[in-house]
Amino acid sequence: MIRIHILGSAAGGGLPQWNCACANCVAARSGKIAPQTQSSIAISSETSREWLLINASPDLPRQIDSTPQLQPRPDSPRNTPIAGVLLTNADIDHALGLLLLRQQEAPLVVYAAGETRTGLAWIDNLLTRFCGIVWRKISADFQSLRGGLAFRAIELPKSVAFQFRDDSSGATALFSPSVGELTEELRNAVHASDVVLFDGTFWSDGELHAVRSGARTAREMNHLPISDGSLDLLRQSPARRKIYTHLNNTNPIQMQGTRERAQVEQAGIEIARDGLEIVL
Ligand SMILES: [Zn+2]
Ligand SMILES: [Zn+2]
């Protein structure tokens, strides 16, 4: 059995974003839609008390505060059930949380591609004065973790996706929050996973133009838009649960009752929210 907690479901900046007055951010400030923290998940197997984080967002301390399973046991003064962090890339919203774990006594265990490790040399340097980081390699083949969970990395442009497998039940879960391109390997994983958590950052390619002229397009930011990018693929996937996550605050699917949200729901796809628990 695989257990997943969605700690945060928003893209970089969160919902609301501190300097944004788009319709969604205004609605989140006034309580019309639920605020969402920046994207991260925690994953574990049924038999393990240890959890892995996939990406460590700047909201991590708050996310731990609202997730009892990630909090220290009362039987010793300093401890954590967080056994390590897997990084999909070196984006600030995926990695800044590492710095916020600096009070840890043993070095942080971080699984990442070589490119991500290079991009995070500055965090690595800062943490040497505190707990330090032990870097672990990732591979395209499944590697086993404690507790009967295995994972592999699926290489994408400027990012990786992770697929997890529970060794006893065979259940599989895919986490892919930064998808610049639908590679053959990723398509196959979307069709062969029981749960798919997928890049839902932007609805359309030019979405950011509405809030900032001269903004880059979704594709330029390495996020395939939902409308003409991933919607058909996810609709066709036989996965038991398909969930858009890593949603930008400008994305119209954040708001109840929009035409765009209806299209996603009609395709049998869920929209992530903070605190959602998935067991498979
Ligand atoms: Zn991100
Ligand atoms: Zn906004």
End-to-end CA distance of the chain: give it in Å, rounded. Answer: 5
Kindly report the number of other CB atoms within 10 A of residue 268's CB atom: 13
* Backbone phi and psi for residue 140, each to the nearest 5 degrees, phi listed first: -75, -15
Ligand 2 mean position, distance from CA 113 (Å): 31
Proximal ligand: closest to the CA of 212:
2
Q: Report the alpha-carbon distance of residue 53 to residue 43 in Å, rounded.
A: 6
pLDDT of residue 49: 87
Backbone angles phi, psi at 212, to 5 degrees: -150, 110
* Whether 7 contacts 57, CB under 8 Å: yes
The ligand whose atoms approach the alpha carbon of 37 most closely is: 1
CA distance 280 to 267: 21
Cα 146 to the center of its chain, rounded Å: 21
**Are 5 and 170 a contacting pair, CB within 8 Å?**
no
Q: How far is the CA of 251 from the centre of ligand 2 (A)?
A: 9
Q: Which two tokens stand for residue 153?
A: 């990395």
Per-residue pLDDT of the chain (280 residues; tens, 9 = 90+): 999 999 999 999 999 999 999 999 999 999 999 999 999 999 998 878 899 999 999 999 999 999 999 999 999 999 999 999 999 999 999 999 999 999 999 999 999 999 999 999 999 999 999 999 999 999 999 999 988 999 999 999 999 999 999 999 999 999 999 999 999 999 999 999 999 999 999 999 999 998 888 999 999 999 999 999 999 999 999 999 999 999 999 999 999 999 999 999 999 999 999 999 999 9
pTM: 0.97
Q: Which ligand is nearest to the CA of 22?
A: 2
Q: Which ligand is nearest to the CA of 20?
A: 2
Answer for the pair 37, 7: CB distance below 8 angstroms, yes or no.
Answer: yes
The alpha carbon of 33 and the centre of ligand 2 are apart by a number of angstroms equal to 12
Name the maximum alpha-carbon separation found in the chain: 54
Helix or strand holding residue 231 (H, E): helix 231-236
- Cis bond leading into 16, ω under 30°? yes
CA–CA gap between residue 153 and residue 108 (Å, rounded): 20
Give 74: exposed, middle or buried? Use CB within 10 Å, 0-12, 13-18, 19+: exposed
Cα(248) to ligand 2 centroid in Å equals 8
The residue with tokens 């043993």 is 106
Instruction: Give the SS3 label for residue 193.
Output: coil
Residue 17 pLDDT: 98
Which amino acid is residue 16, in one-letter code? P
Q: Which ligand is nearest to the CA of 177?
A: 1
Task: Report the alpha-carbon distance of residue 27 to residue 213 in Å, rounded.
Answer: 22
